[in-house]
Structure formats: structure tokens, C-alpha cells
Structure 1
Amino acid sequence: MSELPPGTAPIKAEYLLSTQPRPAPDDDAAEGSTSHVTNDERGDSRDARSTGPQRRKFSKEERKNRTGANKGRRFQKIRDEVELCWKIAKGNSCEFGSECRNTHDVAAYLAAKPRDIHFPSAQDIIEDPPFVKPFPEDETMADADSPSLDRSTTCPVFETMGACNTGLKCRFLGAHSTKNEDGSWAVTVNEEKQALTAVTERELNFIDGDTLKKIRSKKYPHPITDAYLKYLQDEEKKPQSKPKENANQAVFDAADFEQQENGSIPNLVVSAVPSESVNAPEDGPSQVDTPDVPMRAVEKKRLNWKGLTYLAPLTTVGNLPFRRLCVDYGADITCGEMGLANSFLSGSKEEWSLIRRHPSEKIFGMQIAGSKPSFLVPAAEILGREYASGLDFVDINCGCPIDLVYKTGSGSALLDAAGRLGKIVVGMNKALGEVPVIVKLRTGVKDGRNNAHKLMPRLACEWNASALTLHGRTRQQRYSRLADWDYIKQCVQAVRAREEEENLTPVPIFGGGDCFSAQDYWEKTEHSGVDGIMIGRGALIKPWVFTEVKERREWDISARERLELARKYAEYGLNHFGSDTPGVNTTRRYLCEALSFQYRYIPIGLLETLPPRINDRPPAFKGRNELETLLASGNSQDWVKISEMFLGPAPEGWTFIPKHKSNSYGTEESQG
């Protein structure tokens, strides 16, 4: 292996097709943007993602072409050629009648509808081409009245839930439809299965339209927020009695905030408005309870997370189907995608959908980003009122490095605004009631200016954060260097020393960065003293990393098992996004997003040394069989072919462009 450049994955010679490593995928692009600082601005003309002394110098144009984000990505919503009214599709009547913009002619819709898709079972997956057992083309299985229906298919949603919520628009309609004697069509319902799965499969954390309307129109009450913001304004007006150097720090703590006996902040003693009062008639009687004693930090739900596995919140790719998949493979704690406080307060339906939770997610939280108490505290108050039983924690994002977030003062910008951060944490703690507040950080904003070791003790001991997670890189580093686990250890020690000094119960602290194997996990945990490790990129590349961690082994997963994982993702996607035409292709898009990371996995049976390292770049290689070779393809057209095994042929003209430019080699020109 001496001929391979440093930083190259040690693949056994018999599987090598080349000795030159592939271009490194730009994980900065996967976070939503290219690096905020170019190599030239750092005074470094080298490719920041190359490793070792043999790094070749690239021109500025080469670096731009090799890495970065495909910012022109557009994913058009594919619809049926003939649009059937949703109410008619579900067997209901439409109040708009002939004025409805969609057709009510079921026969015409079924005549134009594409033929049903076959969804394979796990037993249909094989390791030889075509990798999924073909379904026999038996014309007798087609419905005589509607050739688009295929009675041999199965609907994943119907099989799971006992009813399909897309009705006649389902692309697996032959599995659950009947034609009545009067010529009308009906959708089958398995009431027994529907009842059995109501608790185990039905998604949670929905928000109703009336509540969204109140949020949008600024009529949703925020009594706790109003009192807290008034308190902050009054504090700002008071003469500064503190030393000048503390002027930009939070000069209060949660205990002061909650005291009533001194009478200094009487307006803060306000109970939460019951959720039913939010939608009460505006001219109706007030349903606000009399003031209660406010909750103290010690009354928050205690987070006992030591020894648990944690899937990091991941933008775009960390959706509900992917989280379900990780739970199947051993993830104990899951967190939704980052939402923006401003978007929550504007009543964005898409933003509120990020809080959707599957019952299998036993410990679930949501992540929110914002720059000021006036944004984050009212959003937290709505969350605490609407989802008191549906959220186990709320995570404040103080680590997001992308320009879009940072330039607004959110994300990692809060690392340099301790006073503002303290006010946010205290206010959100108050507004969320029993729901704990946790904080995710990076080590600092700029290289050489780490400050997490100063912030974390204050977050845990002064501002009552219930847990802390620390990614071992600065904002400036992004993914260009290895995570600093020695510094993570220093931060853990700083928090534990402060807790011991003040006789406080220790809060969970999770580290993060470059964890890619069971050996990585347990060595880093022991070395740093963290309670666990939050896994992000490692889970994207191999979701079964949680199984490896729990079983303390490296899993040489077979190609067939990996394709079964893709089948399961497709099934979960259809259950979440829907089994109609738009739902199928949304599922296809996110399955391809997942494959744009999973292709980077190098089967450990092909490696000469273990454990595998996340930053090692593989040369071109072949797998132990054709399926393993296909799953290692970096060609995005191959990911679309894999999606077609489970979701049927992609619509004409549909292409997938990944976030990482280096992932779509040979296809960018054809995709436009």
C-alpha cells in the first residue's frame, strides 16, 4: 500500500481500480453553503480538503469546479397529468362542485393515471442483477375497467396503517380499491389494523390551521414572553452598577428571574395560557388561569442521557424517514432539522412540519435558530404550549456555520455574544415550562480563539441549560480539519469543576466530530469524559453506526443488507410524504439525497486496516459483487436507478443533482 498517497483509504489491492483517490466531497456544501472563507483569504493556496505532505496545488478555478455546492438545484413537484380533487379521491363530496379547479371525473382520472408501481418486499432483494426480483408481467392482473390498476401490487402505507391517506390518487391503488355496483370507486380500509397502529405508527406533533392563522396574524398570546421582554427593557434602563467589562454580559441569572418575594419583577409570575384558549372566540370569556408560582430550573424534566446514542440534527437529510431508519439501527435520541425562529413566528407551515415526530422516536427534540430573545422566546412559548407532551427537549443552535445563518447573528454568531445568549436561554427556559432547553455549540468562531470552555460552565450553571453538545471545530474550520477532542475534554472538565464547586447535579455533555466507528466512539468517549457522542456525518454515510456502537463491533454489512436499508427508507418516505405522485417523487428525491452520502461507505471487508476513518478518501474500487460496486458509485444517475427499484421509473426529464458538486461527476452537463 506504499504507493497510495497519504490520507487514502487502505483498500486491498485486489479491489483497486486506481491508485488515485477520488475528489473529496465538500461537506461544507452539505450544510447548505460552500466555505465562508476561501483558501486565498486564509493565505493558503492548497486544497484545504487534501491531506498529507503530497497535496497537489490546484488553481482557483479547479478548486471551484471540484468542490462546493450545486446552488442551482431545483426540484420540481411532479403532479398527475389529470388532477383529481382531493376530497373526491378520499370518497368525500366537494363543496365547490363544478367550480372546483380539479376534476371530479374518477374514470377520466384513472384512464390517464400511470400504471401502478410494484413495491418489493425485503425477500425480493437479491445480490445479482437486476438486484430486485422482477414482477411477472401478467396482463390478467390489470383491472379491466382501469388498466392503470394492478391487483398484484402492495401499498406500503396501507400495509402499515390499514388505510392509505392518498385515496384514489395512490400510485399503488390496485392494492386497496374496489369498484361498486353503481360504477363508483371506493378505497379499502382495514379497520382492525388501523386501530392497532394508531399509537405505534401515526405521526405526532401536528399543528392545526386555526393556530397557524393566529400565529400569522400576531394574535397568538405570549404572556410569558411579554413579561420577560418588559423585564429586559426595564433592566436596560437601570443605571449600570456593574463594572464596565460586564456591560455586554448577562448580569442576571435564572434564580433572580424567578424570585417573587422581592417584588422586583411581578409581571413575570404569569401562567401559561391553556392551549384551548388560543382558539377561543376573541369576544369570548378569558380562559387565562390565575397566576401560578413560576417553574424553577430544578423542576425541569431531568435528562438522563449517559450511555445513550444521539443522532445529530441534520438540515435537509435529517428528515423523519431518515430518523426512523437510524432509530431502527439503534439511535436513542433524535432531533429534527433546524428551524428558524422567524419562520415559526410567521406561521410557516413548512417550518412547523419540522417538528413532526414518529412514535418510534422515544427521545425527540427540535432545534431552533435565532438571534434575539424577541424571536426565540415567543417561539419557545408557542412550542411549550402546543407541544408540551410531544417534545423532550428544545435545542438552541449555536453552531451552524453557514453564511445565511451566521450573518443574521444566529447559529455560531451567538458564540461571540454571551450576554445575548444568556438572555435567550433564560427566557426560553421560562417560556417552555417543563420542556428542557439544551444548547449545541462549536468550539469558537475563529481558529485560535476557542471560547466554548468559558461559555459552557455559564450555560450549565448560570443559565440552566439542561444539556450541552459540542462539535469539536470552529466555524472557520468547518470540515477542513479533524475535530479537537483534547479541547472537548478541556470543556467537559471546566463544566464539571463549576458544577462541583456549586454543588449542582451534572448535566449531560455530548461531543461531536469525526466519529465513524465503534472504536472511534468508545475511545473518544473515554478520552474526553463526555456522556456520549452526537453522530452526524457518520450516520449519513452508514446509518448502522449506532448498531456498531451499541454492540461494540465493526459490522461488515453486506450489499444486500445495504439495499434493504434503501428499501426501508423508501417505505418510510412513502408513509411520511404520501404515496401519490408528488409523494413518490419527494421520496425519490430524499432517497437520492441519502444515497449521495451512503455511496461514500467503503465496505470494511475491503480494507487492509481497521477502523475506517471518515476523512480517508477512496481510490476507485470494485466491490465483492456487482451490487456492492453499484452502491459505491458516485454517479448520481446510478442513485436514480436504485430509487427506481422501489419507486418505479422516474418521470421523464426528472434528474437528481446532489449538493456536493464532486458527487455528480460525469452528469452535471446533462442535468443542466
Structure 2
Amino acid sequence: MTSTTTLEATGAPTDGTGASAQATPFLPPLRIGQHTVPSPVVLAPMAGVTNTAFRKLCREHGPGGLYVAEMVTSRAIVERNEQALRIVTFEDGESPRSAQVYGVDPATVGAAVEIIAGEGRADHVDLNFGCPVPKVTRKGGGAVLPWKRELFTRIVDAAVEAGARHDVPVTIKMRKGIDDEHLTYLEAGLIAEQAGVAAVALHARTAAEYYSGTADWSAIRQLKETVTSIPVLGNGDIWSAEDALEMVRQTGCDGVVVGRGCQGRPWLFADLMAAFNGSDERVTPGLGYVAETIYRHGELMAEFFQDEDKGTRDLRKHMAWYLKGYAVGGDARRALAMVSSLAELRTHLDALDHDQPYPGKDAEGQRGRQGSPKKPHVPDGWLSSRELSDEHRAKLLEAELSVSGG
């Protein structure tokens, strides 16, 4: 493996003078149980994206946030699946170590949190109730599960109790509900607060909206007005530091959760942390800086997979996100999307126009999954009652993916 290239976010180009006049922080540090997160910024877990390599890259740009690992299923943890256990294995420099668990059975979720907390694998566990993927929701899992209030309550209670035995706080991340006629987020927030969760995060869309349209930040404000004793975090349509500041102004939320907005832009965390510390300094990278970031990402991926070929192949999906808005021809884009070694990656990156300046808004905005609104996939009869039938209980056993996903 070639030598490591270290990128310092503070040395990146900025717009304006680059001055960083400090002001009173817009938000105080985020408290998650006994853990203090200096900057109220959270990296959302994203399957196939937020592995150790990407988390480390984001942390290098913004060292004060909370960086959550890819979602892992409770069943896979309990069965001690090798891949699942690797997902909840963290590097020494990660603190707090944050894992996200998905599950549909209270006993299994509780057992999974017991393993993670009891074996000292993580300092914080988040529960996923926000996945809108049809293969999960059609079996009653993810964003449609809180509709069954008793099941939701039992899952949260089991996780919180298991975490508390080892002083590991539990949080939840959820959506508004199934669709506009079946909203659950206010009730779920109150249930979670009463159960003793350390914070709640809301992706301000329903399962039916998937990732389409515009996030309803007014729902975050309503949740913040309803859940008053623990932090409420907002998620949805944060593409820039200015978006994050505006979300806080509109909703009063205690922190922000960033997902698709940081894909191909790990330096967004430097922007967010500067903004929440009253600075107008922003990272506005030219193509040369982007190229070096891509190469650093490739190095970290090769190290994570312990296989240069596998690491660089996995990096391919990030290329379009990194190059969004830059004048890079089709041949160069195709070549970068086919790399299988660090040497090959270096050659193609060196061929780019490193003097090309930051393209402004063209490099920002929508990226990653989007799609269009769709009728939510739920089990037959799921919406007819808030209680869980025996038939649906059996269906839920099929809802967990083998290891990760969503």
C-alpha cells in the first residue's frame, strides 16, 4: 500500500477572506447520555457508505461530531455473524463509538444491544425506525413499525434496559410515519422519551415520500415542542452549512443529522462545525483538493477491506458524488468508475485539471438516492389496527436483513 496522504480541512481553500471570526456557538455541545459531542453534528448511518474508512475521512475534516456506523441487524449480531460484528468493531481513535441496530423483535434487539454494550463494542447505540425500503416495510419493519405502538414500545424498552446495564445510552432515528394519513412520530417520540432514550432524531419525511420532494422541517419543530427533556435532532435536506443553520432557526432542534449531503463531500463536516461556532469559513475545494480527497478515501478503503482491489472497487460508487459540478469529461469519469488499484486511481486523478476552481452551487445539492413518492409497501391489514396480530408477528420475523441494509 502506498504511503498515507493526510488532508487537513483547515488548509482547504475558502471563499471570502478565509477569516474565522469566532462568535458564541449557535448550539451548545450535544449530550448523548454521559457523552458530550463538541459539535451538534451527526453522520447518519448509510448502508455501504459509512464504513470505517468513510467515517475516518469525515472525522479528519470535522473531528468534533458523532459518526455512526452502518446499520446492522439485531439478528446478525445475536447470531454472531462475522460481517455484522465487524461493522460494530471500531478503531481506537473513534469516540464516541456509535452503532446503529435494526430489529423487529424485542428479545432479539435487547440481546443485540446486550452484546454490543456488554462486550464494550460501542459507546452509544441508535435504533433504526426510519428505513423506507420496500423489502423491509412490506414485512412490517423500518419506518412502518412504530404504527404498532406496543411492539415499538417493547423494542425501545428492551434496548434501553440492555444499554443501561452497561452505561451505554440508546437513541432512536425515525420518520414522520407511513404516509400523511398514518403519522407516528409525535407519539413515538413521547414513548421513547418515557422509556429513557438519550435523544430522538427525525428524518422529516414519511416512508411514502422515500427520499423525494422536500423534507418537512415543521415536523421537527413539532417534535421539539413535544419531546422536551432530551435532545431532538433534525434530518433531511441538509446540503450545506447554511441549510443546517436554517433548520435550527426554523425548528429549535438540538443538532443535525447529515446523510446524503455529505456523499462525495466529507469536508461538509468542517463547514458545519465552523458554522455552529459562528464562523463563515467554508471549504470550497478546487478539483485538485477533490482529487487528493478521493485518493485519501481510496487508501482508507484499501486499509479497511485489507484488500486494495476490493477497496478501490467499493470506492467506485463515490466517484459521481465527488465529481458533481466539476468539468470532468466522460472518458475520465468512466475510467475513475472502473479503478481496481491505488496506482490506477493515482494515474487517473493526476490526469485531471487540478487548477479547476470550485464550481459553487453546482457541486452541492441533491445526490444519492432520491426517487419519487410511492404507495408504501406494508403487510396486508397492517393499517387496520395499531395492535400486532399473530399473523403480522410471524411476518415480522422475515423483516430483518441478513446483516445490514436500508
Both proteins in one fold, TM over 0.5? yes
Structure 2 residue matching 1:397: 3-state secondary structure? strand
2:184 to 438, 451, 468: 451
Judging changes above 3 Å, is the alpha-carbon distance between structure 1 residues 633 and 649 closer, same or farther for their aligned structure 2 residues? closer
2:297 to 556, 569, 591: 569
Kindly state the Cα deviation for residue 120 of structure 1 after the two structures are TM-superposed. 8.2
1:473: which partner in 2? 205
Mark the structure with the bigger radius of gyration. Answer: 1
Partner Cα distance (2:191, 2:256) in 1: 21
Kindly state the Cα deviation for residue 648 of structure 1 after the two structures are TM-superposed. 7.4
Output the amino acid matched with 2:322: Q
Judging changes above 3 Å, is the alpha-carbon distance between structure 1 residues 385 and 121 closer, same or farther for their aligned structure 2 residues? closer
2:395: which partner in 1? none
Judging changes above 3 Å, is the alpha-carbon distance between structure 1 residues 634 and 483 closer, same or farther for their aligned structure 2 residues? farther
1:108: which partner in 2? none
Partner Cα distance (1:313, 1:377) in 2: 20
Partner Cα distance (2:264, 2:285) in 1: 13
1:530: which partner in 2? 253
Matched, 1:397 2:120: no
1:486: which partner in 2? 218
| Superposed counterparts of 1:244-259, under 5 Å | none
2:155: which partner in 1? 424
> Does the aligned pair in 1 maintain the 2:302–2:309 contact within 8 Å?
no
Partner Cα distance (1:595, 1:535) in 2: 19
2:336 to 596, 620, 638: 638
Kindly state the Cα deviation for residue 426 of structure 1 after the two structures are TM-superposed. 1.2
Aligned residues: 320
Kindly state the Cα deviation for residue 550 of structure 1 after the two structures are TM-superposed. 1.8
Kindly state the Cα deviation for residue 307 of structure 1 after the two structures are TM-superposed. 4.0
Kindly state the Cα deviation for residue 118 of structure 1 after the two structures are TM-superposed. 5.8
Kindly state the Cα deviation for residue 645 of structure 1 after the two structures are TM-superposed. 4.3
Q: Deviation per CA, 1:436-458, whole angstroms, max 9, x where unpaired?
A: 11100001111343221222122
Kindly state the Cα deviation for residue 551 of structure 1 after the two structures are TM-superposed. 2.0
Judging changes above 3 Å, is the alpha-carbon distance between structure 1 residues 641 and 574 closer, same or farther for their aligned structure 2 residues? closer
Q: Deviation per CA, 1:198-247, whole angstroms, max 9, x where unpaired?
A: xxxxxxxxxxxxxxxxxxxxxxxxxxxxxxxxxxxxxxxxxxxxxxxxxx
Partner Cα distance (1:585, 1:661) in 2: 29
Cα RMSD after superposing both structures: 2.8
> Does the aligned pair in 2 maintain the 1:118–1:646 contact within 8 Å?
no
Q: Deviation per CA, 1:387-443, whole angstroms, max 9, x where unpaired?
A: 2xx412111100011122223332112221221111111111222221111100001
Partner Cα distance (2:199, 2:220) in 1: 15
1:409 to 123, 140, 152: 140
1:368: which partner in 2? 101
1:555 to 270, 283, 295: 283
Structure 2 residue matching 1:449: 3-state secondary structure? coil
Structure 1 residue matching 2:299: 3-state secondary structure? helix
| Superposed counterparts of 1:229-628, under 5 Å | 301-305=33-37, 307-330=39-62, 332-387=65-120, 390-432=121-163, 433=165, 434-460=167-193, 462-496=194-228, 506-552=229-275, 553-578=281-306, 583-600=307-324, 602=325, 622=327
Kindly state the Cα deviation for residue 346 of structure 1 after the two structures are TM-superposed. 2.0
Partner Cα distance (2:3, 2:292) in 1: 12
> Does the aligned pair in 1 maintain the 2:172–2:197 contact within 8 Å?
yes
Partner Cα distance (1:648, 1:490) in 2: 49
Q: Deviation per CA, 1:33-56, whole angstroms, max 9, x where unpaired?
A: xxxxxxxxxxxxxxxxxxxxxxxx
Taking structure 2 as the reference length, the TM-score comes to 0.72
Kindly state the Cα deviation for residue 119 of structure 1 after the two structures are TM-superposed. 5.9
Partner Cα distance (2:150, 2:370) in 1: 39
Percent of residue pairs identical: 24
> Does the aligned pair in 2 maintain the 1:401–1:475 contact within 8 Å?
yes
Kindly state the Cα deviation for residue 368 of structure 1 after the two structures are TM-superposed. 0.8
> Does the aligned pair in 2 maintain the 1:592–1:643 contact within 8 Å?
no
Q: Deviation per CA, 1:236-278, whole angstroms, max 9, x where unpaired?
A: xxxxxxxxxxxxxxxxxxxxxxxxxxxxxxxxxxxxxxxxxxx
Which residues of structure 2 form unaligned runs of 5+? 8-31, 276-280, 349-367, 372-406
Kindly state the Cα deviation for residue 595 of structure 1 after the two structures are TM-superposed. 1.7
Taking structure 1 as the reference length, the TM-score comes to 0.45
Partner Cα distance (2:161, 2:292) in 1: 45
Partner Cα distance (1:439, 1:309) in 2: 16
> Does the aligned pair in 1 maintain the 2:45–2:69 contact within 8 Å?
yes
Which residues of structure 1 form unaligned runs of 5+? 1-116, 124-299, 497-505, 604-621, 623-628, 651-658, 663-672
Partner Cα distance (2:6, 2:233) in 1: 35
Partner Cα distance (1:458, 1:587) in 2: 41
Q: Deviation per CA, 1:332-360, whole angstroms, max 9, x where unpaired?
A: 10111111111222221011110121223
> Does the aligned pair in 2 maintain the 1:302–1:466 contact within 8 Å?
no
Partner Cα distance (1:490, 1:301) in 2: 23
Judging changes above 3 Å, is the alpha-carbon distance between structure 1 residues 465 and 118 closer, same or farther for their aligned structure 2 residues? closer
Partner Cα distance (1:122, 1:646) in 2: 19
